[in-house]
Amino acid sequence: KWHSVPLAPPDSIFKLTAAYKDDPFPQKINLGVGAYRDDDNKPWVLPVVKKATERLLTDPELDHEYLPITGLPSFTSAAARLILGPDSPAIKRGHVTSVQTISGTGANHLGGLFLSRFYKWSNEKKIYLSDPTWVNHFAIFRNVGIEPLTYPYYDPKTIGLAFDLFLETLSNLPERSVIVLHACAHNPTGVDPTREQWAQIAELFLKKGHYAFFDCAYQGFASGDLDNDAWAVREFVKKEVPLLVCQSFAKNAGLYGERIGALHVVAPTDEAAARVKSQLSVLSRSEISNPPAHGARLVSLILNDAELFADWKRDISTMANRIIDMRKELYRLLTDELKTPGNWDHIVNQIGMFSFTGITPEQSQALTEKAHIYLTQNGRISMAGLNSHNIRYFAESLDKAVRG
């Protein structure tokens, strides 16, 4: 049976985690994981999530009815204000359509599906992704009949942004191209444009009529400040660049498994927004009927209650600051103590959960084989996998791998 089904390769991150789990070496480190870990390398349930769960469970009115097709309204409206700003004129004018999705992945999927059906494509359906990007982007867009292509983004020489080449490529694309942008904390590089660069990118989008497909999986996680991390999206909305935003609460609320996210489409008029919503509703209905309730209720409580919102901001700072501290400590160990050859400024300049170390695939392999440190071949490390107990071992192992 099923003779014609080819065997698919296992997911590379999944494979890495399995190899890490099987390794009996006591000082082993997993730097592949894309989830926050506390200083004891444990998953962290945010205290605000515990508090909100308590409130939910003691609510005598709580039932398990279906949510509306487009999601819990108190969640989607607050989620839109969170990313677009509490005083967003686009929201006030009714130009924003928001639909609850199966976390950020579901938002990317629904956004892609919607564009595939309804975007006025100038030629074939093509979407432009940063090189590199979150690998799942490729499969998500292929699944909805859109061909994924890449634009230059990361410069291995500077371990930073290839800004000129990036802009030049975007300006040479056909008008009205659809381009995916990471709103903050670019995955996998940790390299984000500066505010000045974002403003220039927005101008180019306007000039060319490009469509901005924002993927926002790390709001608050990048800098510790929710508004700061939403700056690029808000700048594009202010300049009236046509766009949508995929939003995830997996990382910033530690709700990975609850699959809670939203898709926000900013339309030119309230009437267009209503039409967009009607079609998103039809698409969502055929795929999931109704979105899951638990995560939506938790995030709705957190976003709509002043006390819980303040607690959440504190928890976000706890996570972001621990990661920033790990960056500083790794930088200090490599430069001041070990005098590791090369420039390591990028470790402190990069943003968010991941860091592109700039090491070669061979050095990365040596780290795994000789030091039991698990990371993807491209040299990306999850800063969340580092903590006060293992950072010295990691720095010393990296130093050895670089010296060869």
Q: Return the active site residues.
A: 134, 215, 251
182 scored as a contact of ligand PMP (CB under 6 A): yes
Q: Which is nearer to ligand PMP, 201 or 217 (CB)?
A: 217
Q: What is the token pair recorded at 85?
A: 């700003």
Q: Is 134 in the site for ligand PMP (CB under 6 A)?
A: yes
Of the candidate spans 72-80, 98-106, 124-132, 205-213, the one that interacts with ligand PMP by CB under 6 A turns out to be: 98-106
- 16 vs 273 by CB, closer to ligand PMP: 16
Contacts of 69 by beta carbon, 8 Å cutoff, 6+ apart: 281, 284, 285, 289, 290
DSSP output for 111-172: HHHHHHHHS--SSS-EEEEEES--THHHHHHHHTT-EEEEEE-EETTTTEE-HHHHHHHHHH
List the one residue from 88, 105, 116, 387 that touches ligand PMP (CB under 6 A): 105
* Integer Cα distance of 207 and 3 in angstroms: 52
With tokens 């695939």, the residue in question is 361
| Smallest separation, CB 122 to ligand PMP (Å) | 26
Q: How many CA atoms lie within 13 A of 223 on its CB side?
A: 12
Question: What is the rounded CA–CA span in Å between residue 360 and residue 294?
Answer: 43
| 217 contributes a contact to ligand PMP by CB under 6 A | yes
Binding map of ligand PMP across residues 335-374, x = CB under 6 A, - = no contact:
----------------------------------------
Give the DSSP letter string of 259-317.
Answer: -EEEEEEE-SSHHHHHHHHHHHHHHHHHHHSS--SHHHHHHHHHHH-HHHHHHHHHHHH
* Cα torsion through 324, 318, 257, 75, rounded to 10: -110
Residue 72 CB, nearest approach to ligand PMP (Å): 17
Closer to ligand PMP by Cβ: residue 95 or 182: 182
Compute the least distance from the CB of residue 260 to ligand PMP, in Å. 8
187 forms part of the interface with ligand PMP (CB under 6 A): yes
Tell how strand 373-374 and strand 354-356 pair up: unpaired
Q: Which is nearer to ligand PMP, 192 or 215 (CB)?
A: 215
> How many residues of this chain interact with ligand PMP, rule: CB under 6 A?
13
248 binds ligand PMP (CB under 6 A): yes
**Residue number, 103 or 350, with CB nearest to ligand PMP:** 103
215 binds ligand PMP (CB under 6 A): yes
Contact 205, 212 (CB under 8 A): yes
The residue among 252 and 357 lying less far from ligand PMP, judged by its C-beta, is 252
**Residues at the site binding ligand PMP, with contacts judged by CB under 6 A:** 34, 103-105, 134, 182, 187, 215, 217, 248, 250, 256, 261
